[in-house]
Amino acid sequence: MKFTDSHHQTVVLEFKNHHDEQNGEHVLALPIYNQNLVLTRHKDRGIEFPGGKREINESSQEAVQRELYEETGSTIDALYYIAQYEVQGQSHCFKKDVYVVFVDQIEDKTYYHETYGPILTKSLDTIKDDEKSYLLNDPAILACVERMKELGFYQS
More confident residue, 6 or 41: 41
Which residues, listed in sequence order, are joined to residue 3 by a DSSP beta bridge?
11
What is residue 121's predicted lDDT score, i.e. its pLDDT?
96
Specify if 156 maps to a domain: no
Pairing of the two strands 51-53 and 26-33? antiparallel
- Domain encompassing residue 73: 2-150
In the prediction, which pLDDT does 4 show?
A: 87
One-letter amino acid of 153: F
Q: Per the domain annotation, does 155 fall within a domain?
A: no
- Please give the Cα distance from 144 to 124 (Å, whole number): 13
* Interatomic CA distance for residues 99 and 94, integer angstroms: 17
Does residue 146 have a pLDDT over 90? yes
Distant-in-sequence, close-in-space partners of 134: CB < 8 Å, separation ≥ 6? 6, 45, 46
Counted domains in the chain: 1
**Within a domain: 55:** yes
Which CATH number belongs to the domain containing residue 103 in this structure?
3.90.79.10
Report, as an integer, the average pLDDT of 141-155: 95
pLDDT tens-place string over residues 74-128: 999 999 999 999 999 888 899 999 999 999 999 999 898 889 899 999 999 999 9
